Structure 1
């Protein structure tokens, strides 16, 4: 039925043109003019030039439907409604994310570059920087799985889970067993998962099954058989919050390939971060913002005191330990801020000695490529680790298509030969690092809801570097000679993929 409904929506305009075939010459002329006008409009809009090019070329190649398709894309009410809901929620919750002046003052005295980064995240993103917080870097999915189960078992008051992908198996079933036990003990358990991310990994109406177990469950952008670009805006976050004082994020979803219980693309290398203390408050707010995105009026109606029960100190009156400064942050495609990309750009421009990056996808816009190349040319040791075994063939080809330009600039690229690396980490100069859900690709940087943790002089920052250097031992370096050996026909195909990479 779903396939039939989608096919009907595609066929309807084609049938309409056939019915009106006597007027085809006039319709053809009008639609071509519309496409030219739309192409001019796109060209003159503010925004990323690669995104513009990726739209303008197909519109001009297919002028009969190209311009009309773009107009329908821009006019879709579902995206506008989502944007309005999210902006209302952000406006209502922003006053709850207060900045303690002491951490910012410490940064001002110790490291002006780090202070500028933290100030940007607070001023433009609305995310405070915290002390009285500890971090622990979890270098594999297996370690995160064990720590997550341990922390969930300690929950006494509430558990908030927000994940892009959940799939029945060893990992999720073990977590679900703990959640069911906690519900019986009166713990407030809430789960939010992405409708597209779980489209093929969970049974239909799975949320109803969980609600019967006492788990409050919502689906972000549940799939319905209607052609809509709103499904491009996915909740790619992976967040777990326990009793307000413990949180996890990173690249690891709740599915068996992430813990190598199911071998899908060779050995799966991933990472996560465990945060404890005052910094967890931002993760709690990130979760609640998404939890109420289907009903912002309900959130706005809550008195400010209602949120006190979720604050880190509410169930943890003892003073928190501290091992540096921590700044959790979110990124939303609805506010046009590009927080995730700007965090990466600030790290790149501020790097002096080294910049070590892991990412499963390396499909960047011109701003990131230019910044990285300039950093390498000014003497910064810039290194990437990317996968050797792909999870998506075309995306992997597009990643490799950009290697030569980077290597020629002095950037060193390594591929993880045992399989697929899914970590999203950056560490810089033994000073700062970030761990989160944000890939170095257009989809993460422009379309998805994402999150991460920026750190200054924390224990986890040192652990990120150590893990990167250890992982290098299982990698092969991509040389300039390797890049030049790629056959011409393959380079041409890769170039075409790069041209349309913003739309992948």
Structure 2
């Protein structure tokens, strides 16, 4: 019996070697999964099947793109008509975003920045009530609470009025929020609802975007999902987040992302489009003079299988000359990003990272991973701050004229796996606005220093080191 078990285990090891080494994962990710699979044979295999396996994933996405090739080509043609209509001279980063990420450049935009869910939802609900033609909503998580129910009441009313209402949700993000009764009510009222990727099949490659497009003229983007805690906080703690309301040409890019995700989530012949695609891209009057680009990965981007978000963020980080201020709830960077942050700080760049001091899920895991990296960064001169509450904003300030706001966390999952989106501004004015927001957040934060890590026990350091082995999986 023992010999049979050994033979089975040896066969299992060959399976691990074949599966991991022929995957498209990076070496650090392969090593982490080998540890999981070798030392946790049964549990590890289950975890890998739902979290680590990427077999045929790129193939599946390419097949979807081929199946709906005509729609994607039409979308590309429509949006590219508006690229750099003013003939402005693009900066190196703007050129990179267009060439590598397919991000069109427009400079007729206006933005409103929200740092709390109360004002954001009030403005959003007012825009939804004013919708005349269509409403496109996409969220990672939607909660069945007061805010969620108010949203669905508005959507149901607009659907009954004849406004086209489409709602996309991530099947994992909404898997435990008891929101399905609201989905059924919206469908009964005439709205269209669809989930993205059944979560039981894979926990990776989720759609983490949060988008709303109203009549093709107003767009929303940022870190807030739908729930009352974005306005009221959790357990007496402030929930600090960042979301933007957009008008101008940049809304067309948000529309393209939504339609691409909608097409990818539906079967052929069930797309639910009422009019030709051009209908969703109306001519819009210039609402401002703000230059902006939307950067997104997934089916929206023709460079499927390449690290669009990762490379764009890496390019932005390395462009910093004087300042790099980052807000992110989760922090588990790749080795390349980690070394870039160290190098910038040693070069004299003012590098600051602000993160959360509390998590609603997996706090011990996330804190130990962050501390492992923070110890190295602080030793190199990076300043690290923990917000006294929940910091859920995903933003990055570079020098005095570059700003990113979106859904991207600074961890491997966001940078390389999940479908994400962020908006990139080159504007001294908007950078000043967010710089003041960041400085206000600093007043509600505690700075970590190296002396704090020196006081850690040997057990704490050992735990951080062990957990760090799995950071490529986070």
TM-score scaled by length of structure 2: 0.89
Change (3 A) 1:421 1:95: same
Q: Confirm whether residue 263 of structure 1 aligns to residue 234 of structure 2.
A: yes
> Do the aligned residues in 1 keep the contact of 2:115 with 2:243 (CA within 8 Å)?
yes
**Cα distance in 1 for residues equivalent to 2:245 and 2:428:** 12
**Cα distance in 1 for residues equivalent to 2:3 and 2:219:** 64
**Cα distance in 2 for residues equivalent to 1:129 and 1:284:** 15
Counterpart in 1 of 2:452? Answer: 482
Query: After alignment, is 194-203 or 337-346 more displaced?
Result: 337-346
Counterpart in 2 of 1:324? Answer: 290
Q: Deviation at 1:444?
A: 1.1
What are structure 2's unaligned runs of at least 5 residues? none
Aligned length, in residue pairs: 465
1:202 pairs with one of 178, 181, 186: 178
Q: Confirm whether residue 55 of structure 1 aligns to residue 14 of structure 2.
A: no
**Cα distance in 2 for residues equivalent to 1:46 and 1:214:** 42
**Cα distance in 2 for residues equivalent to 1:272 and 1:94:** 26
**Cα distance in 1 for residues equivalent to 2:370 and 2:379:** 16
> Do the aligned residues in 1 keep the contact of 2:83 with 2:106 (CA within 8 Å)?
no
> Do the aligned residues in 2 keep the contact of 1:269 with 1:423 (CA within 8 Å)?
yes
Counterpart in 2 of 1:278? Answer: 249
Counterpart in 2 of 1:233? Answer: 205
For 1:382, what is the secondary structure of its paired residue? strand
Q: Confirm whether residue 81 of structure 1 aligns to residue 23 of structure 2.
A: no
Residue deviations 1:224-251 (CA, integer Å, cap 9, x gap): 5xxx3x3322111000001101100100
Counterpart in 1 of 2:215? Answer: 243
**Cα distance in 1 for residues equivalent to 2:123 and 2:49:** 48
Change (3 A) 1:197 1:105: same
**Cα distance in 2 for residues equivalent to 1:351 and 1:78:** 34
Q: Confirm whether residue 468 of structure 1 aligns to residue 449 of structure 2.
A: no
Larger radius of gyration: 1
> Do the aligned residues in 1 keep the contact of 2:194 with 2:265 (CA within 8 Å)?
no
Q: Confirm whether residue 421 of structure 1 aligns to residue 419 of structure 2.
A: no
2:413 pairs with one of 440, 443, 454: 443
**Cα distance in 2 for residues equivalent to 1:149 and 1:302:** 24
Matches within 5 A, 1:35-434: 35-38=16-19, 41=21, 47-61=25-39, 74=53, 80-82=59-61, 84-86=63-65, 89=68, 91-92=72-73, 93-98=75-80, 100=82, 102=84, 105-108=87-90, 115-204=91-180, 206-223=182-199, 228=201, 230-260=202-232, 263-264=234-235, 266-295=237-266, 297-298=268-269, 306-313=276-283, 316=284, 319-332=285-298, 335-391=304-360, 392-393=362-363, 394-417=365-388, 419-434=389-404
1:493 pairs with one of 441, 446, 463: 463
Change (3 A) 1:30 1:274: same
Q: Deviation at 1:454?
A: 0.6
Q: Deviation at 1:218?
A: 0.8
Tell me how large the CA RMSD over aligned residues is.
Answer: 3.0
Change (3 A) 1:252 1:75: closer
For 1:496, what is the secondary structure of its paired residue? helix
Residue deviations 1:275-298 (CA, integer Å, cap 9, x gap): 101110000010011111133644
Q: Deviation at 1:202?
A: 2.2
Counterpart in 2 of 1:8? Answer: none
